[in-house]
Chain A
Amino acid sequence: MSAILMPKPDERVLARRDAIIAGLATLLPPEALITSEDERRAYETDALTAYRQMPLAVVLPETTEQVSAILAFLNAEGVKVVARGAGTSLAGGALPAADAVVLGVSKMNKILDVDIANRTIRVEAGVTNLGVSGAVQHLGFFYAPDPSSQLACTIAGNIGMNSGGAHCLKYGVTTNNVLGVKMVMIDGTIVEIGGAALDAPGLDLLGLIVGSEGQIGVVTEATLRILPLAEGARPMLMGFQSAEDCGACVAAIIGSGIIPVAIEYMDRPAIRVCEAFAHAGYPLDVEALLIIEVEGSEEEIADLISRITAIAADYNPSTMKVSQSEAESAAIWKGRKSAFGAMGRIADYMCMDGTIPTGQLPRVLTGIADICSGYGLEVANIFHAGDGNLHPLVLFNANKPGELEKAEAAGADILKLCVEVGGCLTGEHGVGVEKRELMVHQFNTIDLDQQMRIKTALDPQWLLNPHKVFPLEGRPV
């Protein structure tokens, strides 16, 4: 048994399953309603695969109006709803519950409008992250947030979790790139918030909705900012013999007035696994590796690289290598972006997502090593060094009894350490079920109560993705 408990399903809802399904069937075409056990199984988990829950049913609406009808019906019936994008959440954000209906947005996948002059795109929420960039790439534009799962993950999920990515050091995360949404509240009300203008009137509801983990409403459409592609971009690799040197080098680069597009960090175990998988040309004889990417014209890139190289010289780099070709750049990024998958080939892992003040890096890396060795587990560190967002991968063997629990305990200790040094539990993956019970380490009762009041105010019965984000104890319902 793993440590995270699921609330006991509502027996009254389970007993009414047939009637609930019959009700849904009147609202949707037959192919949009999934009830058989075989087909429901595809929705029983997300990328936090240690947890599985077979949902009551799955609905795959194609329009906002259908979403509205479904939510109004389920609200009246008192049935929980778990909205789902592509199911790539590492925090269990899309994990169903036995007494909940999964509402998948995958069929709402149309690009609605591209407006180059105003630099916006309007999409249905089931469009994939990469699909947004794909729709505007031929026009010289892209959508900035770039989570590693961008091939699969949807805009709906990105909005739910306020997803980031490697390039958000310069371009910001989801909340900085969403201008408007169409959303359905639990009672079926359809609301439009924001639009194509740069700011929205009234309270910043968009800011609240982005990152609310599917607990406030179901987003069906979004207006996003698109940005012109840089003239060129080039990554460079920089290896160090100590985490201290590496961390100090990052601080010096940023302190000099240069904000690279990305500064990614890998430690020795992570480098080995990624290199074996992607043959990216990573040096294998270093303790810490930075991938630093800069953008601009040929001259600007050359200038930035020479500035960065000059700064780095003070921090004992043992390798320094600038990508010489498109193919080499692609390989360097392939290694980084497939890190989680590559790691999955050699071991099971828990992927953590704390953020720390960047000055605390050496202390926290030592702490992570100590915590994991205390549990007899290995760890590989991959993270966004420029903004202090850590992704320690705690390795374990799922077939060995007790190892998952140990990994979870180590992960929890790591996140508590992040909070202790002034950081937070999650930088871009979200709380989900995974970190729900850890919220008390970052927030006190007053903080959590006010957040839960907002949940109650906008979803009085707590039907939208309810068993996430907040500790099970101390809830108002």
Chain B
Amino acid sequence: MTSILLPDSEAEIEAILADAAATGSPIAIHGGGSRDIGRPVQAARMLSTRAMTGVTLYEPSELVLSARAGTPLVEIEALLDQNRQRLAFEPIDYRGLLGTKGEPTIGGVTASNASGPRRIQAGAARDHLIGVRATTGRGETIKSGGRVMKNVTGYDFVKLLAGSWGTLGVLTEVTYKLLPKAETETTLVFEGLDDVRAVEAMTTALGTPFEITGAAHLPGAPSKTLLRFEGFANSCEYRTARLRDLLAAFGDAEAVRDEDSADLWRAIRDVSPLEAREDEVVWRISVKPTDGPAVAARLRAELGARCFFDWSGGLVWTAIAGPADGGGASVRNLMAALGGHATMIRAPHGLRAAISPFQPESPAVTAITHRIRESFDPAGILNPGRMG
């Protein structure tokens, strides 16, 4: 039986981690518990940041917000919405895909560097994160960055901690820059393109000045290729018209607007179009966009995989049923050949314990990573093995 610790202050977290370090007892680190991803952590105790809640700073005119790590994302989004602002990186909600029940927290968003379709234009969570406080495996709370938009003072632990899945420190407070919400959004939908043509259309679109904020391709009968525009109404109107002309060779496009468009992208963000079945392992494959179709073709041919594409082809969400390794060997070989990386996002615990869900790295990078981990968490108590 795992015992659950619910500290509500940095001082408590410091005491818990210092003690764990002294006794060498590993601790599983949780936010809302909605992201059961990575290698399962073997630990007798779990530290949840659920009690570390509350927005500590919000200055709408300065586009900045700080919150304690356990603050539910939904609370932050509701607050920002009052001022027509948002976290522009569009964090994914994993609950539908993973069948988890928890409430996503801002700390979890940060620790997993959760980013959505707008990544191609606005950047990832790590690009919007400007400050962190975190308690390391030494039981010491460090800060990096701050609340200002540009900051190169000292090493950038803000980026290093984003996407570190609780393995370097327990995030206690995070600060994000915000962006205004767009006045309107429109999505152009092209039908019937095959993967290669779709990626051609999407990369062509992204090579224009018309500021596409989402580019996804959903294979099927018929396939749909989606391009999203956001901004002031007249600007959106102009840009969609120009792009329609430029992409005339790819067929006629239907325009989907406002809430209907938002629904489409919420589904893509949360991997709903994959409709992953219970018996399927789900991979998140990141390659350069023009390699996307080849990845899908190969995994379909070899393993009967089902795929859809976000990030103009660069993010291939893949469902694989059948092989005992969840397709791991094939996926890894393919990544070695193409130079991308793949994460086994959803798989049974046993499989995630047996093979690393994260992409294995070169020996040189592994050595660097190891030395960094050792300096943050010398006793190896924080989510040990989760990213291994």
Q: Do these two chains really belong together in a complex? A: yes
Q: Which residues of A contact B (CB under 8 A)?
A: 115-120, 140-141, 161-162, 164, 168, 172-173, 175-176, 185, 189-193, 195-208, 210-212, 228-231, 251-252, 254-259, 295-297, 299-300, 303, 355-359, 384, 386-389, 422-431, 435, 439, 442-443, 446-448, 450-451, 453-458, 469
5 contacts between A and B (CB under 8 A): A204-B163, A254-B180, A359-B62, A429-B152, A457-B371
B223: Cβ under 8 A from any A Cβ: no
Give chain A residues whose Cβ lies under 8 Å from the Cβ of B272: none
With both beta carbons as reference points, the residue of chain B lying nearest to A386 in the complex is identified as: B149
On whether the beta carbons of A387 and B149 are closer than 8 Å, the reply is yes
CB within 8 Å for A357 and B59 given contacts A426-B152, A447-B154 = yes
Q: Which of B15-23, B134-142, B258-266 contacts A (4 or more CB under 8 A)?
A: B134-142
Which of the listed residues B153, B157, B286, B287 has the most CB atoms from chain A within 10 Å of its own CB?
Answer: B153
On whether the beta carbons of B143 and A443 are closer than 8 Å, the reply is yes
A-B contact count (CB 8 A): 250
In the docked arrangement, what's the CA distance between A200 and B160, Å? 12
Within 8 A of A (CB), among B174-218: 179-183, 200, 203, 206-209
In the docked arrangement, what's the CA distance between A193 and B182, Å? 34
CB within 8 Å for A299 and B359 given contacts A140-B207, A229-B209, A458-B371 = no
On whether the beta carbons of A162 and B156 are closer than 8 Å, the reply is yes
In the docked arrangement, what's the CA distance between A231 and B243, Å? 13
B330: Cβ under 8 A from any A Cβ: no
In the docked arrangement, what's the CA distance between A252 and B63, Å? 11
Given contacts A254-B63, A359-B59, A428-B150, 9 further A-B contacts (CB under 8 A): A117-B207, A195-B339, A203-B387, A208-B155, A211-B152, A231-B209, A255-B60, A446-B140, A447-B154
Give chain A residues whose Cβ lies under 8 Å from the Cβ of B157: 208, 450-451
With both beta carbons as reference points, the residue of chain A lying nearest to B202 in the complex is identified as: A117
Nearest Cβ on chain A to B235's Cβ, whole angstroms: 5
Mark each residue of chain B from 22 to 51: 1 if its CB lies under 8 Å from any CB of chain A, else 0. Answer: 000000000000000000000000000000
B382: Cβ under 8 A from any A Cβ: no
On whether the beta carbons of A207 and B368 are closer than 8 Å, the reply is no
On whether the beta carbons of B387 and A202 are closer than 8 Å, the reply is yes
Within 8 A of A (CB), among B119-156: 119-120, 123-124, 126-127, 136, 140-144, 146-156
Q: Which residues of B contact A (CB under 8 A)?
A: 59-64, 84, 113, 115, 119-120, 123-124, 126-127, 136, 140-144, 146-160, 162-164, 167-168, 179-183, 200, 203, 206-209, 232, 234-235, 238, 242, 286-290, 311, 314-315, 339-341, 343, 358-359, 361-362, 364-365, 367-369, 371-376, 387
CB within 8 Å for A355 and B151 given contacts A193-B365, A447-B144 = yes
Give chain A residues whose Cβ lies under 8 Å from the Cβ of B179: 259
Give chain A residues whose Cβ lies under 8 Å from the Cβ of B160: 203-205, 207-208
In the docked arrangement, what's the CA distance between A426 and B146, Å? 12
Which of the listed residues A258, A295, A297, A450 has the most CB atoms from chain B within 10 Å of its own CB?
Answer: A450
In the docked arrangement, what's the CA distance between A363 and B365, Å? 46
With both beta carbons as reference points, the residue of chain B lying nearest to A168 in the complex is identified as: B150
On whether the beta carbons of A176 and B123 are closer than 8 Å, the reply is yes
Give chain A residues whose Cβ lies under 8 Å from the Cβ of B289: 117-118
On whether the beta carbons of B152 and A469 are closer than 8 Å, the reply is no
Give chain A residues whose Cβ lies under 8 Å from the Cβ of B149: 355, 386-389
Which of the listed residues A210, A388, A424, A455 has the most CB atoms from chain B within 10 Å of its own CB?
Answer: A424
On whether the beta carbons of A197 and B341 are closer than 8 Å, the reply is yes
On whether the beta carbons of A389 and B150 are closer than 8 Å, the reply is yes
Nearest Cβ on chain B to A362's Cβ, whole angstroms: 14
On whether the beta carbons of A357 and B365 are closer than 8 Å, the reply is no
CB within 8 Å for A196 and B339 given contacts A207-B162, A355-B149 = yes
Give chain B residues whose Cβ lies under 8 Å from the Cβ of A356: 148
Nearest Cβ on chain A to B384's Cβ, whole angstroms: 15
On whether the beta carbons of B148 and A427 are closer than 8 Å, the reply is yes
On whether the beta carbons of A447 and B143 are closer than 8 Å, the reply is yes
Give chain A residues whose Cβ lies under 8 Å from the Cβ of B59: 357, 359
On whether the beta carbons of A115 and B374 are closer than 8 Å, the reply is no
On whether the beta carbons of B153 and A424 are closer than 8 Å, the reply is yes
